[in-house]
Structure 1
């Protein structure tokens, strides 16, 4: 009974965002208990610990990009837009010139990059983030960074990984279209 419920929930999530959840349903087929435990992980990784959406998703998107999964990056961008983060800010944060990004997003990106690289300046970056968002917000950044890495690595480990598509070009085109068509939802954009 648990397996079909989980598979239905995963498929519904995939349909909502245009995201292939085959690797998740495959896990449920292998071990419904393990699939259930995996579903519980998202309750932690989606918890922002009071952190605003923009820095949370900046860290999460940075981690997804680092793990090189194009479909996961599209999903993270769609979820950020759904949470109210402007596409232009996401595009600026992902550009090579991150100085164009809102300051909070640039700091969150810098944090995630430092965590992922085990950068020796991480203690100073952690201090700056804690000064800006407090210990609770720092926990949100850590959860976002873990979340951004967790699913792409699991997906790749199960043989379902994909390398980054030209997501930045896609994002630029979608940003332009969204500017031209007010009210266009990011969830619909992921479908083409």
Structure 2
């Protein structure tokens, strides 16, 4: 019965976001306890604290682009648009166009890239983040950066990460800018 309920939830996600959930179906079919752990992980990856949606999705999108070139990124873009993040902001986040972003979102884009590159330059930006949103905001951003990298890794490990694609932001089709702030791809 519980598998039936989770299956319906996955089908609803597939339909809502036009997202391929086969890897989650396979986990559910193969090992219910493993699937329950994946669902428990969702509580970390969806933690939003008190941060504005644009800030959250800046960290989430840039983190997922680091490891993904397609469906996972598209899912996050769709979620950002659903959360009322402006398409222009989402476009600039994907392109890493910090000059076109509000200052707080540009800060998070730069910080995310530096963290992922393991650059000491993240230290100064971390202080700015704490000044803006406190340690709670820093923790939330850290959760965004670290947890959204899990999904592409899981899909690639299970054999589902084979599709690179352009990202749709409403009527605009984009190739994600995977160039980091430190020049590392």
Report the TM range for the smaller structure's normalisation. 0.7 to 0.9
Does 2:156 align with 1:156?
Answer: yes
Aligned-CA RMSD value: 1.6
Count of residues in correspondence between the two structures: 173
Higher helix proportion, which one? 1
Q: Does the 8 A contact of 1:62 with 1:112 survive in 2?
A: yes
After TM superposition, what 4+ stretches of structure 1 lie above 3 angstroms from structure 2?
A: none
Question: Who is 2:125 aligned against?
Answer: 125
Q: Does the 8 A contact of 1:69 with 1:162 survive in 2?
A: no
Question: Who is 2:182 aligned against?
Answer: none
1:163–1:118 distance in 2 versus 1, CA, 3 Å: farther
C-alpha distance in structure 2 between counterparts of 1:130 and 1:20, whole Å: 37
Deviation, structure 1 residue 147? 2.8
Question: Who is 1:38 aligned against?
Answer: 38
Q: Does the 8 A contact of 1:63 with 1:148 survive in 2?
A: yes
Question: Who is 2:65 aligned against?
Answer: 65
Cα offsets for 1:12-42 (capped at 9, x unmatched): 1111100000000100111011101101111
Question: Who is 1:173 aligned against?
Answer: 171
Question: Who is 1:84 aligned against?
Answer: 84
Q: Does the 8 A contact of 1:58 with 1:105 survive in 2?
A: yes
Q: Does the 8 A contact of 2:28 with 2:35 survive in 1?
A: yes
Question: What TM-score do you get using the length of structure 2 for normalisation?
Answer: 0.87
Question: What TM-score do you get using the length of structure 1 for normalisation?
Answer: 0.84
C-alpha distance in structure 2 between counterparts of 1:105 and 1:126, whole Å: 13
Deviation, structure 1 residue 97? 3.1
Gaps of 5+ in 1: 176-192
Question: Who is 2:111 aligned against?
Answer: 111
Question: Who is 1:144 aligned against?
Answer: 144
C-alpha distance in structure 2 between counterparts of 1:164 and 1:49, whole Å: 31
Deviation, structure 1 residue 163? 4.4
C-alpha distance in structure 1 between counterparts of 2:12 and 2:170, whole Å: 27
